[in-house]
């Protein structure tokens, strides 16, 4: 009961410090919020790119366009050749009519295609190579180009694989930046706590003289640091919300141009919780380091 009372007393003391210096507290919270929001916003961008790339095929695909001059027999023969190749794991035929239909349905180009005299698209084969190695793919592409009745061979989906690779680098960067900004947060929080301790130097000295232990003195400052981190984390989430709200319109507009229903997403609840937890933890750690160091400086002994 005594311990619980001591915790509540320390918590009240920490809250009263926010109350008694609202402007300084606000500036500190904004600084912490900005420090957290930088890696968090990078994470949010990556999460959205990940979502965007999530439904794209990351396996390399080859689009083989049949020459418009090719006869039906040539096209059939080409199909048999492709189906028999061991370096292809899958071969799917897309007729020119199907291709035009898909274009109209997904591209929203109804008005344009209606004005055409005929179907300008060629028959095509969508091929999945067995070996995704870039050198093997290039070799395969060159071989396919030489087949009779082939107009053009394009390597698709490589950009998606590259995007995934870039996202992996981005995620690593988020990790590194998060670590750096956690240090910054600890420094900001610790410095704020240190100022608080020095401002209350007399109180600490008197309290020690009349029997306060270091644990007793430290407790309220640790609550202060933890609350500071937590509120700074909330501030960061608020900053991110404002960013997403500000970018939602332009992003939606851009997505519409590509006939995509894509909208910017916000962090999952679990991710928000993790940010708050890490912020509170960093605040606590910063406070602990600052209190331990500064209490030694104001030791009456």
CA distance 241 to 265: 10
Number of residues that bind another protein (CB under 8 A): 20
Which two three-digit tokens encode residue 8? 């509540």
Q: Which is nearer to another protein, 14 or 275 (CB)?
A: 14
**Choices 1-9, 85-93, 138-146, 256-264; region in contact with another protein by CB under 8 A:** 1-9
To the nearest whole angstrom, how small is the minimum distance from the Cβ of residue 32 to another protein? 26
To the nearest whole angstrom, how small is the minimum distance from the Cβ of residue 11 to another protein? 14
Query: Interface residues for another protein in 2-61 (CB under 8 A)?
Result: 2-3, 5-6, 9
Q: Which is nearer to another protein, 90 or 215 (CB)?
A: 215
CA distance 31 to 139: 55
- Residue 197 has, within 13 A of its CA and on its CB side, a CA count of 28
Tell me which residue of 166, 188, 185, 165 sits closest to 177, measured CA to CA: 185
Binding pattern for the stretch 206-235 against another protein, x by CB under 8 A and - elsewhere: xxxxxxxxx-x-------------------
**Where do the DSSP E strands lie in 60-182?**
61-66, 88-94, 124-129, 150-156
Q: Position of tokens 């600490």?
A: 204
CA distance 91 to 147: 15
The answer to the question of residue 301 lying near another protein (CB under 8 A) is yes
- In contact, 154 and 63? CB cutoff 8 Å: yes
Which two three-digit tokens encode residue 53? 């790339």
* Residue 151, φ and ψ in degrees, nearest 5: -90, -45
- In contact, 167 and 50? CB cutoff 8 Å: yes
CA distance 59 to 52: 16
Q: Which is nearer to another protein, 72 or 301 (CB)?
A: 301
To the nearest whole angstrom, how small is the minimum distance from the Cβ of residue 176 to another protein? 39
To the nearest whole angstrom, how small is the minimum distance from the Cβ of residue 255 to another protein? 57
Q: Which is nearer to another protein, 5 or 55 (CB)?
A: 5
Query: Interface residues for another protein in 180-209 (CB under 8 A)?
Result: 202-203, 205-209
Q: Which is nearer to another protein, 177 or 216 (CB)?
A: 216
CA angle 145, 150, 152 (to 5 degrees): 65
Q: Which is nearer to another protein, 270 or 301 (CB)?
A: 301
Query: Interface residues for another protein in 129-168 (CB under 8 A)?
Result: none
To the nearest whole angstrom, how small is the minimum distance from the Cβ of residue 4 to another protein? 10
To the nearest whole angstrom, how small is the minimum distance from the Cβ of residue 23 to another protein? 18
CA distance 234 to 239: 9
To the nearest whole angstrom, how small is the minimum distance from the Cβ of residue 300 to another protein? 6
Question: Interface residues with another protein (CB under 8 A)?
Answer: 2-3, 5-6, 9, 202-203, 205-214, 216, 300-301
């Amino acid at each position: 009961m005594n311990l619980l009372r001591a915790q509540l007393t320390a918590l009240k003391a920490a809250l009263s410090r926010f109350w008694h210096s609202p402007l300084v507290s606000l500036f500190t919270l904004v600084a912490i919020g900005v420090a957290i929001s930088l890696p968090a916003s990078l994470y949010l961008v990556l999460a959205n790119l990940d979502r965007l790339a999530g439904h794209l095929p990351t396996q390399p695909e080859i689009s083989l366009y049949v020459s418009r001059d090719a006869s039906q027999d040539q096209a059939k023969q080409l199909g048999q050749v492709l189906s028999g190749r061991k370096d292809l794991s899958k071969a799917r035929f897309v007729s020119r009519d199907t291709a035009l239909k898909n274009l109209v349905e997904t591209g929203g180009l109804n008005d344009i295609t209606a004005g055409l005299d005929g179907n300008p698209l060629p028959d095509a084969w969508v091929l999945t190579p067995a070996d995704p190695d870039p050198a093997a793919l290039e070799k395969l592409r060159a071989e396919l180009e030489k087949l009779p009745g082939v107009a053009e061979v394009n390597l698709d989906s490589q950009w998606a694989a590259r995007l995934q690779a870039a996202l992996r680098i981005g995620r690593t960067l988020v990790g590194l930046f998060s670590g750096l900004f956690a240090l910054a947060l600890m420094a900001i929080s610790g410095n704020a706590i240190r100022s608080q301790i020095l401002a209350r130097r007399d109180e600490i000295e008197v309290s020690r003289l009349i029997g306060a232990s270091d644990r007793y003195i430290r407790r309220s400052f640790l609550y202060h640091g933890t609350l500071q981190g937590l509120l700074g984390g909330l501030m960061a989430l608020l900053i991110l919300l404002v960013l997403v709200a500000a970018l939602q319109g332009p992003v939606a507009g851009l997505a519409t141009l590509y006939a995509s229903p894509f909208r910017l997403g916000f962090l999952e609840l679990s991710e928000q919780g993790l940010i708050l937890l890490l912020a509170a933890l960093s605040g606590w750690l910063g406070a602990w380091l600052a209190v331990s160091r500064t209490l030694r400086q104001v030791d009456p002994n």
